[in-house]
Structure 1
Amino acid sequence: MTGVPAELRSQVEALKAEVAALHAELPRNNLVVWTAGNVSARVAGADLLVIKPSGVSYDELTADSMVVCDLDGNLVEGTRSPSSDTAAHAYVYKHMPHVGGVVHTHSDYATAWAARREPIPCVLTMIADEFGGDIPIGPFALIGDDSIGRGIVETLTNSRSRAVLMANHGPFTIGSDARDAVKAAVMVEDVARTVHLSRQLGQPVPIAPSDIDRLFDRYQNVYGQGSSK
């Protein structure tokens, strides 16, 4: 391990605290069970990321237990092994420079769509607002190397969506920072549930592409207070 450069120390410590706190949002929003799922954040100005260690209970996570890795998934700082999804997160950061946060969950409804290998159709204004269209399915990939990361990047590179349902696995979300990616994870589960319920009543009606464009543009550029949505 080479360690974190001194000039990045304050930023890394702040990110450790933020990422540890954001992990609490996953069980709070019923997005994970046991130790599944993870949140990571890019260290600005460096090829580094902060992520949780593997197999540690959410109620035991603290800022000090977070680990720092490089964008090849190698441990740079920490006493525990990084999350088993670190290679996927690292690949996303390496190939999508605008991404500042990545989240993975196994939330019930979004994962059910992933098991069917079926995109979530854009039949709600919330989907248009948040994701700019259908929430796509990514390819099947095994855990252990950067195959999942490659699938995420390939699927989202030409999509406005901040979420991808990796086939037979579950949702991954991206954001401008870790908090933004957590919000996307909460929202994708919410719309996955709502569209599922709608299907019990009949066939949901898609929103016209031109209306999706208008909704997405308004939500991304007009809604809220500045950058806070």
Structure 2
Amino acid sequence: MFSNEGTDAKKARGIGEAIGLDGYSQEVRDEVAAVRKIVSDLHAELPKWELVVWTAGNVSQRLTSADLLVIKPSGVTYDELSPEKMVVCDLDGNLVDGDRLPSSDTAAHAYVYRNMPHVYGVVHTHSTYATAWAARAEPIPCVLTMMADEFGGDIPVGPFALIGDDSIGQGIVDTLRESRSRAVLMRNHGPFTIGKDAKDAVKAAVMVEEVARTVHISRQLGEPTRIAQKDIDSLYARYQNVYGQ
């Protein structure tokens, strides 16, 4: 089963034919089935929280049993998604299993997984307020305790990069390596978030839009007050290590 896109078009996009999962163990195939459902279900959270329009945005999760990821297929609307339509790629972004083309952001997700081994979930949206900050190439300042809790400081801006190869992934990794934040605003593009799994990354995507909106509104009233670094550190440590335990 393959997409209707012709072989020449696939080659132009650097996409090979799916090799399937027959060569993988039953453990891997079982995890693929489970993660396909997880990723499919989590995509419903993006329109629910008004983070995407039409077919924009994507969620992926990396497997624990093999160097594979599951991601949304390209150009499929959210109400058409199902576990069976999720596609499986290797960590170089090559299609392994699925009858549709993977998201155009797959190379970015794959690069993050290759270079940040603690990350098992990646989300990309074009949520309105976070993307507006990205269009200004301006970090979101840490002026809310919610930001200190969740992101450990400012939400940084990553470099401008074109879709088509792993340049966006490189920008994500280079930016987040120097930050406690689980979100980055890629300049003129939009937010990418990372997490311990896809659900964690979706949570970060929801939170980054909320703080982007709140800080924007605050700035309409005047200059918001930054939180002192020692207080940010204290809030972050408590939320990450004590809260909910």
Confirm or deny a common fold (TM above 0.5).
Answer: yes
- C-alpha deviation, 1:34, in angstroms: 0.2
Aligned with 2:104 (options 84, 109, 113): 84
Give RMSD over aligned pairs.
0.7
Q: Deviations over 1:23-68 (max 9, x none)?
A: 0000000000000000000011311100010000000000000000
Aligned match for 2:78, one of 58, 63, 66: 58
Instruction: Give distance in 2, aligned partners of 1:45 and 1:149.
Output: 23
Q: Which runs of 5+ in 2 are unaligned?
A: 1-17
For 2:233, what is the secondary structure of its paired residue? helix
Amino acid at match of 2:186: M
SS in 1 for 2:61: strand
Alpha-carbon separation, structure 1, partners of 2:20 and 2:101:
15
For residues 86-122 of structure 1, what are the alpha-carbon distances to aligned partners after superposition, in whole Å with 9 as ceiling and x for unaligned?
0000000000000010000000000000000000000
**2:13 is matched with which residue?**
none
Residue 2 of structure 1 pairs with residue 19 of structure 2: yes
- Partner secondary structure for residue 76 of structure 1: strand
- Give the number of equivalent residue pairs: 225
> Which residue is equivalent to 1:22?
42
The alignment status of 1:69 with 2:121, answered yes or no, reads: no
- Give 1:94's aligned residue: 114
Q: 1:121 aligns with which of 141, 148, 151?
A: 141
Shift of 1:3: 2.6
| Residue 175 (structure 1) aligned with residue 192 (structure 2) | no
Match of 1:197 among 214, 217, 220: 217
Aligned partner letter, 2:31:
Q
State the alpha-carbon separation in 2 of the partners of residues 182 and 53 from structure 1.
17
In 1, the alpha carbon distance for the partners of 2:236 and 2:178 equals 16
SS at match of 2:29: helix
**Partner of residue 63, structure 2:** 43
Distance in 2 between the 1:158 and 1:14 partners?
A: 33
Write the distance in 1 (CA, Å) between the matches of 2:239 and 2:142: 15
Equivalents in 1 of 2:182, 2:206: separation in Å? Answer: 12
In structure 2, distance between residues paired with 1:72 and 1:136: 26
- Say yes or no: does 1:213 pair with 2:233: yes
TM normalised by structure 1 equals 0.97
Deviations 1:124-164 (A, max 9, x none): 00000000000000000000100000000000012100000
* Structure 1 position 2, deviation (Å): 3.3
Q: Distance in 2 between matches of 1:138 and 1:45?
A: 31
Normalising by the residue count of structure 2, what TM-score does the alignment of the two structures yield? 0.91
Q: Distance in 2 between matches of 1:98 and 1:45?
A: 14
Tell which structure's C-alpha radius of gyration is larger.
Answer: 2
Q: Counterpart in 2 of 1:223?
A: 243
Which deviations, in whole Å up to 9, do the C-alpha atoms of 1:169-189 show, x marking residues without a partner? 000000000000000000000
1:145 alignment partner AA: D
Identity, % of aligned pairs?
A: 76
